[in-house]
Structure 1
């Protein structure tokens, strides 16, 4: 009976002993983890030191190239084209002969006008001599005053006829000059629409050839009216300075950058109601004629200079669900802090930060995902990652051919065995 009473007591003692042993082991594990955490090295992050500077604010807009001058050459006199005097697609200078039209009819008109002028001049000389004689006789009443007055009127009419004949001669000479069609501007020619033997007429609808001046060349850029309003508001508030003439850079269709900078020429005074945008025109020098009319380009326009701004790598800036831009700052004690900032625009791989930073702030740019606010970190200067070399899209293993031929060899051996 006494033995039965001791059994619960012994069981309780054993259970208490096991619980004490488990508690000791847990305390030992916690102590080990604490020691390991103290011995673990701090997270190393790459930082940039914020320094205020004047930053150019640029915007990228789509555009199309258009010729600086365009002339569609049409005949100003009628006739048959005798020959073409230029090479299609060549560069021609202003005044250079392009076509020769049969000038025989125009030359005959000039000769006819010259004869008419001589006739009218002879008539004027005869009447002038007669008027001078009547002028002496009318003084002694040898000639009626009425006859003298009529003769004075005839002389005036003859003078007018001489001037008309002289004008007709000038017109005939101009038409004769039009028999040689010349380039009105300097530029690049297109293909000729007419050949020798074609009959052309004055003022016809079809152009003989089109000439385009390509140096300099225009770039017509499209900008939304909302962006234009924003730009004007920034200029009004003084947050943007555009005291210098805006410069424009171009990116070509192949991604390369055009070597020459351009200048803004003008902007439309009205908004296109169908697109809600305006057209801005820039002028570029094009000495090598690399830019051709109709090419699609991307224009980088320097809208102005943002004073006392900071350039922060884009990977250093994150957004809250409400859209607020934030960065991680390492304070003087090496502790991570969160800072709200204001961004104006992007410049390459950086954000233009206008407020929220102070000179000397250490902004974390490398290792943002590894840290949190309140954590102590070790800082090193941020080093942007170098561009990686492009690798082939479909690399071919050198062992492909032996592996590929193995099944063919085995199948040929099986066929040989079957035939045997």
Structure 2
């Protein structure tokens, strides 16, 4: 058996060489004949493209912030005493001038009566002093009394007049303190919980907190903006890259609540602070929002959408056509000359909806490839067509038939 195999090996090798030569000859003949193995150029790949068009865009920026009450009044004790009554219901709305508490008035009523008695005494003393001055004036002319006696009478009359003024001031003070025993609402708004109860002792020296009233029919929204962004915005407006609104202060401000819900009422920009917080390197921007239905409460975390300006010639590139290279740079594939793919490095500042705002790397009229990106590379020839989402309804793609194999 081994001898038989050894004898057959030369025959097997010769047969294999003959078959290889025959296959090579067939391939050459097919190439000369223009058959499937002729090396014809592959068909250009269809790619969906978007043609960029410069258009004016109103730029907005969403900034985080918190709501705060339009006005806050901490109601505090202005006299010492025992709280006798609380005259409001916690958690309700009160009007300016409504009485909230009654502090024991008896000590202050007594102080007022004492001050009034002192005034009466001072008035009587002053009347007597005036009579003495009149008597001494006649006697000094006759040299019946000394000039010193007359001067003493004048001085006593002036002291009595001063005592009247002091007594009148004491009465005014007593009336003020007595009035402070009735605690009134300084503003209209929503009143919170009472910090004290009936029978509690309050003090003017420590200004005991009684309750707090907040006016929330309008609310402030204080948001923080990075100082660098604010400086860049001003530079863009001054250079003409952005156009400021006709009246920046009256530009509408929208409010975004939790869950991306938009508050139905528009606010107005009140002011931008000029002091940069050294800890966060940010500045405060304040907006005012109406709150007619009471949907907003102080302390809510929100986002305010502020109008920055208008970019006259903005280029928006779909996010599906933008990717990042290993350096983190934004890139896009563009249909260039002779329909060849070009790789561009972009400067993408921000997103606007589902698009990137691009300031460099592309120009008006460029065709950005947004579909079939995985089948192409820079330098290949492509066939640009509208993307699938831009094709009219009812359009039927032609069916490509496969060439029969030889």
Q: TM-score normalized by structure 2?
A: 0.78
Per the TM alignment, residue 353 of structure 1 is displaced from its structure 2 partner at its CA by: 1.9
Q: Which runs of 5+ in 2 are unaligned?
A: 1-10, 392-406
CA distance in 1, matches of 2:332, 2:303: 31
1:363 corresponds in structure 2 to 368
Q: How many residues align?
A: 371
1:91 is displaced (CA, Å) by 1.8
Other-structure match for 1:410 = none
Aligned counterpart in structure 2 of residue 116 of structure 1, from 97, 115, 118: 118
Q: Distance in 1 between matches of 2:322 and 2:385?
A: 17
**Equivalent position of 2:356 in the other structure:** 351
CA contact (8 A) 1:192 1:209 kept: yes
**Are 2:270 and 1:267 equivalent residues in the alignment?**
no
Going from structure 1 to structure 2, the CA distance change for 1:286 and 1:316 (only over 3 Å counts) comes to: same
Is 1:253 the counterpart of 2:258? The answer is: yes
Q: Distance in 2 between matches of 1:13 and 1:197?
A: 120
Preserved CA contact (<8 Å) 1:52 1:310: yes
SS for the counterpart of 2:259 is: coil
TM-superposed deviation, 1:156: 1.0
5 Å-filtered alignment, 1:64-143, equals 64-143=66-145
* Aligned ranges 1:226-237 → 2 under 5 Å: 226-235=228-237, 237=239
Change beyond 3 A, Cα 1:20–1:365: closer
Task: State whether residues 81 and 196 of structure 1, in contact with CA within 8 Å, keep that contact through their aligned partners in structure 2.
Answer: yes
Q: Conserved in 1, the CA contact under 8 Å of 2:133 and 2:154?
A: yes
Shift in alpha-carbon separation, 1:268–1:290, aligned structure 2, 3 A? farther
Inter-partner Cα distance in structure 2 for 1:46 and 1:212: 56
Distance 1:93 1:225 in 2: 41
| Residue 30, structure 1, aligned to residue 43, structure 2 | no
Out of 297-306 and 93-102, give the one that drifted further.
297-306
Q: Counterparts of 1:1-400 in structure 2 under 5 Å?
A: 16-24=21-29, 28-30=35-37, 34=40, 43-53=46-56, 55-204=57-206, 206-235=208-237, 237-242=239-244, 244-245=248-249, 248-259=253-264, 260-267=266-273, 269-273=275-279, 275-330=280-335, 336-373=341-378, 374-380=380-386, 383=389
1:48–1:381: 8 Å Cα contact kept in structure 2?
no
TM-score by length of 1: 0.76
**d(CA) in 1 for partners of 2:151, 2:334:** 108
Q: For the structure 1 residues 267 and 18, does the alpha-carbon distance in structure 2 shift closer, same or farther, using more than 3 Å as the test? A: closer
Q: Distance in 1 between matches of 2:353 and 2:317?
A: 11
- For residue 364 of structure 1, report the CA deviation from its aligned partner: 3.5
Spell out, residue by residue over 1:380-406, the C-alpha distance to the aligned partner (whole angstroms, 9 max, x if none).
Answer: 267489xxxxxxxxxxxxxxxxxxxxx
